[in-house]
Amino acid sequence: MPNYICVTCGNQHAESSEPPAHCLICEDERQYVNPKGQTWTTLDEMKGVHHNVITPLEPGLTEILTEPKFGIGQRALLVQTSQGNVLWDCVSLIDDATVEAIEALGGISSLAMSHPHMYASMVEWSHAFGKAPIHLHAANERWVMRPDSVIEFWDGETHRLDQGVTLTCCGGHFRGSTVLLWPEGAEGRGVLLSSDTMHVAKDLRHVSFMYSYPNYIPLSGPVVDSIVKKVAPLKFDRIYSHFSGLVIRVDAKPAVQRSAERYKRAIGS
């Protein structure tokens, strides 16, 4: 039986003979159901239409982006470390060419997802790389559409992976929204992979914080303060968020502080 993939959010669901009746991720107010009606595809159908573009971003960091754009349109990021590679966030498409390209970079030892909008075909990716564990924050458990024994839930504020990167739960967009700190990144000054816990703005000098990006629902001032407080102890100089091209290359930490102040002024908080 196929594992249907929601065309709007890109999440792969548990196997079923017929397409599922609903996509819970899309029916949540942080996403949206396709106004033309809920539509589904499968990995096999995608393979003829889409391909993944693999792009090095800096030494030890590689972007995986599906073309033409699919679902939300996010990138996955592969962090290479001396203790193995970590796939941060995910895309829906995985094919032979992608597996070959990632194997050439050392494969995948662990996967970690920031939040449910990025789960995509994560179980498929894990299975393609020796059933590498997928680390998810327990607060997001109800949003897993394809449960599998490779998924490992962690709880609390931080979780260090064997590969030397650390996950920090910041909340905000989702209660279990997580960021990844890669200390060796940016020539050792530290890289934060923020996904959309902190969304890098188009000016590449600020971030923003939203409960729903597609439906323009902001977060409150106190919640923004709590996100900033969670990343305050982390040492980083660069931030990559979840769309291609979105990076604050230097001085990212003061940029977070400045962005939070600007945001709170804008919402009158």
Report how many residues bind Zn ion under the rule CB under 5 A. 8
The span from the CA of 177 to the CA of 171, in Å, is 5
Q: Minimum distance between the CB of residue 149 and Zn ion, rounded to whole angstroms?
A: 23
Contact 197, 224 (CB under 8 A): no
Taking the least distance from each CB to Zn ion, the nearer of 73 and 183 is 73
Residues 6 or more apart whose CB falls under 8 angstroms from that of 93 comprise: 43, 46, 47, 50, 51, 52, 66, 70, 121
SS3 assignment, position 99:
helix
Instruction: Give the one residue of 4, 13, 26, 244 binding Zn ion; rule: CB under 5 A.
Output: 26
Q: Which stretch binds Zn ion (CB under 5 A): 20-28, 143-151, 229-237, 252-260?
A: 20-28
Residue 62, Cα to own-chain centre: how many angstroms?
14
Q: Which of residues 178-237 bind Zn ion (CB under 5 A)?
A: 196
The span from the CA of 253 to the CA of 248, in Å, is 9
Site mask, Zn ion, residues 117-146, x = CB under 5 A? x-----------------------------
Q: Minimum distance between the CB of residue 81 and Zn ion, rounded to whole angstroms?
A: 26
Instruction: Give the one residue of 25, 79, 136, 151 binding Zn ion; rule: CB under 5 A.
Output: 25
- Binding residues for Zn ion (CB under 5 A): 6, 8-9, 23, 25-26, 117, 196
